[in-house]
Structure formats: structure tokens, C-alpha cells
Amino acid sequence: MTSVVTVTPNPAIDHTIFIPNFTAGKVNRVKNERMDVGGKGFNVASFLKDYGIDSVVATGFLGKENRDFFEGFLAERQIEADFVYLDGKTRTNIKIVDEGKQEITDINFPGLYCDRQSGDALKRMLGKLALTNQWFVLCGSLPPGLPDDYFAHTVSMLKSMGKFVALDTSGQALKEAIEAKPDLIKPNISEFCEILGLQNPSFDEIVQGLMALASSGIKTVCLSAGERGALFAEDGKVMLARPPKIDVLSTVGAGDAMVAGLIAGALSGQSLTERAKLSTAFSACALTKMGPGRTTRERVSSIMKDITIEEVRI
């Protein structure tokens, strides 16, 4: 059982609008636009397929009225779809890109309301998928209606079935789910500080916090730190991966690419050092391209040689 299941409870259509010199409160002229399937789980699934991972399943909630947009996207990439459908349309999020300023303004809608019955239906579906799949990635925010501990209960259920569970969420949902001890988490620096109650931590305090989390029952902790690179903690070790200088086209999906890289490395039994290097290359590839084909093996391999890895000791 080597299939990867990505779970996106609150997906979206990303409507990206390119506006030179975007100014709030003024009339702005659109230079270009694009519509993409959004949601962290969809991104992870796409990055894995781009890399050549054959068996990937996407699940979560979708609105019935625009399900074709998402299902077409998945079918084109040969990603299996198995969703719980809700009344209405899946939300559309707006991203305003000013390439000159290298700024992105996000306008995110809350998503479709999900009642308890629908939440239970997704858990039953995950239980069914767990009979034939080993790797689960729980991604993104929870839709309105689901309690903050929904991911926590889901992690516990899947872990009790002997599954590998990665978690990439934020806020109270992350705090609750950490208690269920997922195998992998990937907070950003703000989320990390919130989890541990830190304010303006020193580098040593960050490393100590990572080691504490990685010794609490969570196997692997990845902390993204933007252009400075990323830290990876596991089995008493902390590795720092530094990417090469790149021209950033878009930051959309870069963190999801890092998660996909960690999963891809784990699937082939790589060491922490190897996974750190691979996932950093995934993220760098995502930063420099939009659309499909961002994390092909060729693109990933071409950038891996320029990534530096070192063990952090304090």
C-alpha cells in the first residue's frame, strides 16, 4: 500500500489577477488573469504527480455546482477523485499579483458550510480509503461548520489504523491536532511561535523548540523560513537546508511543494538529509513556475545540486 491520499476540506478556485502597480482605493487595470484549482491538498497531489508518483488520490469536500472544474483538473493529471459533495459552489479566492512590486494580495472567502453529517461522511470515506492506502496528507483550513478538533480526531483515527499522517494546517486546528501526534507537520515561523508560545525567538530557541516538538511523538517537523531556507527536525537531529538564489515568480504553493517533497522522499525511504534536500528543491521549483509541470524530476534534479545542507548543533 503506497498510495498517497491528500485531504482538502476547504478547497477553492484561485482567480489570479495580474495588475501592474496595484493600488488599493484606486481604479486598477488588469493585465492578465488565470483560474486555477486551489487548495493545499490539490497542490500536494499535483506536485507528487509532476514528480512521477503514480498512485495519488484527492478527497475532501466539493460544491456540487462547480464540481466539474475540479474533477476535470484531477482527471487531466490522472489523480483519482473521491469527494463528499455539498450543496452550492466551492468558493473562489482572489489573488492580486503585482509583478513589479513582487507583491501578492490575497482575498479569501470562508467556504461552504459543512454540517456534522457531512463531516462524518468524510471520516467514513477516509476509513474506507485507509483500507487500500498508507499515506495521508491533511491540508489547509477547515470549512465553516466543522469544529477545531476535526483534524485531531481524523489524525487519531488514521493513526489507530497504522497510517502515516502528515498535517499542514494553522490556528486552533493545528494546536488541537498536534495533540494527536501526526507523523509530519510543517508550520511556518508564525505558526511555530504560536504553538510554543514564543515571541521573537533566537535561532537557538527555534532549534530547541523544533527538537522538543520532534521528541513529543511527532516524528518529523519542518519549519519553513522563506528565503533563509528551511529547518527539519527528526530523531534528535535538526538539519538546515538553504536553497540557491532564484527569481521568484509566485509564492503560491511553495509550502505545499515542500510537503510533497517530504512525502516523495519518505515513499522511497530517504534519510532526513535527503528528504530535506528534495523538499527544498520541490519548493524552489514551485517558486519559479506557475501551472502544471512545476516539480518534474528534471526540474527538481537541476536545482538539487545547488542546495546546501548542514546539521545544526547548539
**Cα gap 87→89, rounded to integer Å:** 7
120 in catalytic set = no
Annotated catalytic residue, options 36, 98, 183, 256: 256
Helices assigned H by DSSP within the chain: 40-51, 67-76, 116-129, 150-160, 171-178, 189-196, 203-214, 254-267, 272-287, 297-304
**Do the Cβ atoms of 155 and 182 come closer than 8 Å?**
yes
* Distance from the first to the final alpha carbon of the chain: 39
131-135 CB contacts, 8 Å cutoff, 24+ apart = 132/1, 132/3, 133/1, 133/3, 133/4, 133/5, 133/57, 133/163, 134/1, 134/2, 134/3, 134/163, 134/164, 135/2, 135/3, 135/4, 135/5, 135/163, 135/164, 135/166, 135/263, 135/266, 135/267
User: Could you list the active site residues?
Assistant: 256
